């Protein structure tokens, strides 16, 4: 990954908790580290094959000078979102917002915050439950996913009742798929999914066995990942009608679903 740095850009802004900060303004210093996957301009020497520094500078200037919020953390998030929108080839941005004239009693050089944000990707997850109140388990998992910082544009497919796969002597499942945009990285998202599953008392005693909730990452944008702990796209998604039936409500997968198991509509949504 290649990095472009725009360091210590100074703008007059009005971000602050106090009325006099919003009225009088003060100096803000912004630094950016911008990451792109092997900048093509390194080989072509063509301005079109790298990030437009001027466009990024003007985007930062507009955000800082127009913001009237309270927190520099929120200002940093707005800058990160704005920079990522300037060029779809930007994979990640690290934003540092410094406030050297912060109204804090004491001796200091500056008050600053640094955040790191990835390009937002559209993620699709499969959810299933066949223990306890199956629908409540699914809805609770969805609410926990929606509440994750960095998740937006949440969409839900209908809920389907499905015949179990693998270990057949167990209750029928309820299954659905959800999709959302996020800048949470795939491995961090996997960790957060495990926390949600554990909170909902997920047990992993039997492979393909009954569970209160099961959440799998099916797609993460166009990424292809092959690691022992995570494979994306999910390696068996196209073989499972309990995935493909609700999935088709969120994404055109360009194929009929397999007739491997019984799937029936339980609750229509969307």
Residue 202's Cβ-side half-sphere holds a number of Cα atoms within 13 Å equal to: 21
- CA–CA distance, 82 with 22 (Å, rounded to integer): 21
- Is there a catalytic annotation at residue 61? no
| Residues 53/36, Cβ–Cβ less than 8 Å | no
Backbone φ and ψ for 99, nearest 5 degrees, come out as -130, 80
- CA–CA distance, 122 with 116 (Å, rounded to integer): 19
- CA–CA distance, 91 with 119 (Å, rounded to integer): 5
Annotated catalytic residue, options 22, 78, 92, 99: 99
- How many CB atoms within 10 Å of residue 214? 21
Token readout for 153 is 């544009």
| Residues 270/158, Cβ–Cβ less than 8 Å | yes
The residues, any chain, with a CB within 8 Å of residue 163's CB and separated by 6 or more, are 172, 173, 261, 262, 263
Residues marked as catalytic? 99
């Amino acid at each position: 990954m290649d990095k472009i740095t725009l360091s210590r850009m100074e703008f007059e802004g009005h971000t602050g908790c106090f009325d006099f900060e919003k009225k009088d303004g003060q100096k803000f210093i912004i630094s950016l580290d911008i990451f792109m996957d092997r900048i093509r301009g390194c080989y072509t020497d063509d301005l079109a094959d790298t990030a437009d520094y001027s466009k990024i500078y003007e985007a930062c200037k507009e955000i800082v000078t127009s913001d009237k919020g309270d927190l520099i953390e929120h200002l940093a998030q707005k800058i990160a979102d704005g920079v990522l929108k300037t060029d779809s080839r930007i994979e990640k941005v690290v934003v540092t917002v410094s406030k050297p004239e912060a109204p804090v009693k004491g001796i200091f050089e500056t008050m600053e915050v640094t955040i790191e944000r990835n390009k937002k990707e559209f993620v699709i997850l499969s959810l299933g439950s066949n223990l306890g109140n199956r629908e409540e388990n699914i809805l609770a998992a969805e609410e926990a996913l929606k509440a994750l910082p960095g998740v937006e544009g949440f969409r839900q497919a209908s809920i389907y009742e499905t015949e179990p796969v693998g270990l057949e002597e167990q209750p029928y499942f309820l299954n659905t798929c959800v999709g959302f945009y996020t800048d949470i990285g795939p491995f961090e998202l996997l960790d957060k999914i495990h926390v949600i599953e554990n909170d909902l008392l997920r047990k992993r005693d039997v492979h393909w066995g009954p569970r209160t909730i099961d959440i799998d990452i099916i797609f993460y944008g166009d990424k292809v990942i092959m690691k022992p702990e995570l494979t994306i796209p999910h390696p068996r998604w196209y073989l499972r009608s309990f995935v493909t039936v609700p999935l088709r409500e969120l994404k055109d997968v360009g194929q009929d679903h397999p007739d491997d198991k019984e799937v029936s509509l339980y609750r229509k949504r969307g």
